[in-house]
Amino acid sequence: MPKRSSNSAIPVDTYLRGRGKRRWVYLVFTLLIALLLVIADRSGLLLETSDDEAKYNGQWVTVVRVVDGDTLDIDMPDGKEPTTRIRLWGIDTPEMAHRDPPRPAEPFAEAATQRARELVEGRKVHLTLEPSRTRGNYGRLLAFVELPDGVMLNETLIIEGLALADDRWNHRHLEDFSLLEREAKKAGNGLWGESADKQ
C-alpha cells in the first residue's frame, strides 16, 4: 500500500463544506427531536411516572368526589390542583350527560355513578398503579381502587354489569377483567340484562 504523502491532506474548502453539511444535519436532527418531545409532552406521554408511583402507589387516600362511574377525585394535591383526579384502570363505564356538546346520559351511566358513590365517596381507599402507564390521555391518574375489605371498585362495577372491561391497554388484571365481563354477560347483570333494552 503506497504511503500517503504528508501533503495529501483534504483541501480546506472541501473540509469546510463537509463541516457545514454536518452542522445542517445536526441542526435538523436536533429540531426533529425537539418537535417529537413537544408532541409527546402535549400528549401526556412525558409525565413523570416515577413521581406518580412514589407519590400515589400503595397509598391510602380519601375519595372526596365521584365524578362518574369510572372517575374519582381524591384528597391529594396534583400540581396546582387541590385534588387528584383518578380514572379507574381497565374499565369503561357509560358516559353521563354532557352540556357541551349536548349529549344525553348513556344507559346505566347514573347507576354506575351512584354505585361508585355508595362504595367509595367519603371513604378511604387503597391505590395501585401500573408502572408502565400511570396517566391517561387527559392527565388523569390511572389506578386500581381497593376498599379496606379488599373489594376492588374496578372489579365490582364489571361484575354488576355497570362497566365494560377496557382492553385497549395492557395491565395486570386484563384477563381477570375480561373473565368477569363474560360472567356478567352470562348472568345478565346491568348492561347485559333484559332491563338494558328498555333504558
| Residues identified as active-site | 85, 95, 140
| One-letter amino acid of 122 | G
Q: Are 90 and 136 in contact (CB under 8 A)?
A: no
- Please choose, from the candidates 151, 167, 135, 158, the residue with its C-alpha nearest in 3D space to the C-alpha of residue 41: 135
DSSP type of residue 39: H
Helix (H) or strand (E) holding 125: strand 124-128
Q: Which is it for strands 164-165 and 84-88: parallel, antiparallel or unpaired?
A: unpaired
Q: How far apart are CA 112 and CA 95, in angstroms?
A: 9
Q: Which residue has the cell 357509560?
A: 94
DSSP type of residue 75: S
CA angle 73, 116, 199 (to 5 degrees): 125
